[in-house]
């Protein structure tokens, strides 16, 4: 049970970090300069938490079992990038993200 919760937190902190990172670095300068520093710091903090949780989980689980869970994040990030960051969701991107997620699930389930 605790392992499943930690895997979920590991995944969600990673996704959150990605969503904060994009506006912090975007060449289009979508976020105000003062906000970009804060967003970058929060992104790094979120991904650092995810990193050390990952190291802890690797002590208990096989790499080829644990890491593919992160593949689920492609669906979450594609969805949140469309909803939160207003990125364009094209058919190839949606189809490709589904194929990648399915492939990653197959890899992790085997």
Three-class DSSP labels, the chain: CHHHHHHHHHHHHHHHHHHHHHHHHCCCCCCCHHHHHHHHHHHHHHHHHHHHHHHHHHCCCCHHHHHHHHHHHHHHHHHHHHHCCCCCCCHHHHHHHHHHHHHHHHHHHC
Residue 1 within binding range of other proteins, rule CB under 8 A: no
**Per-residue x/- track, 31-50, other proteins (CB under 8 A):** --------------------
Q: Should residue 105 be labelled a site residue for other proteins when binding is judged by CB under 8 A?
A: yes
And the tokens for 74? 């492609």
17 is a site residue for other proteins (CB under 8 A) = no
Distance CA 27, CA 73 (A): 24
Q: How far is the CB of 83 from other proteins (least distance, A)?
A: 11
Closest approach of other proteins to the CB of residue 33, in Å: 12
How many other C-beta atoms lie within 10 A of the C-beta of residue 94? 14
Is residue 57 involved in binding other proteins (CB under 8 A)?
yes
To other proteins, the closest distance from the beta carbon of 25 in angstroms equals 5
The verdict on 13 binding other proteins (CB under 8 A) reads no
The residues of the shown chain that bind other proteins, judged by CB under 8 A, are: 2, 6, 18-19, 21-22, 25-27, 51-60, 62-64, 67-68, 71, 73-74, 77-78, 81-82, 85, 87-90, 92-93, 95-110
């Amino acid at each position: 049970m605790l392992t499943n919760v930690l895997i979920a937190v590991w995944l969600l902190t990673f996704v959150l970090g990605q969503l904060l990172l994009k506006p912090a670095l975007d060449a289009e300068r979508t976020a105000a300069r003062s906000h970009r520093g804060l967003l970058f710091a929060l992104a790094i903090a979120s991904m650092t938490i995810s990193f050390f949780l990952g190291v802890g989980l690797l002590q208990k689980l096989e790499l080829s079992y644990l890491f593919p869970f992160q593949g689920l994040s492609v669906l979450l990030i594609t969805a949140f990038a469309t909803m939160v960051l207003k990125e364009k969701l094209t058919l190839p991107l949606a189809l490709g993200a589904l194929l990648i997620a399915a492939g990653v699930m197959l890899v992790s389930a085997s």
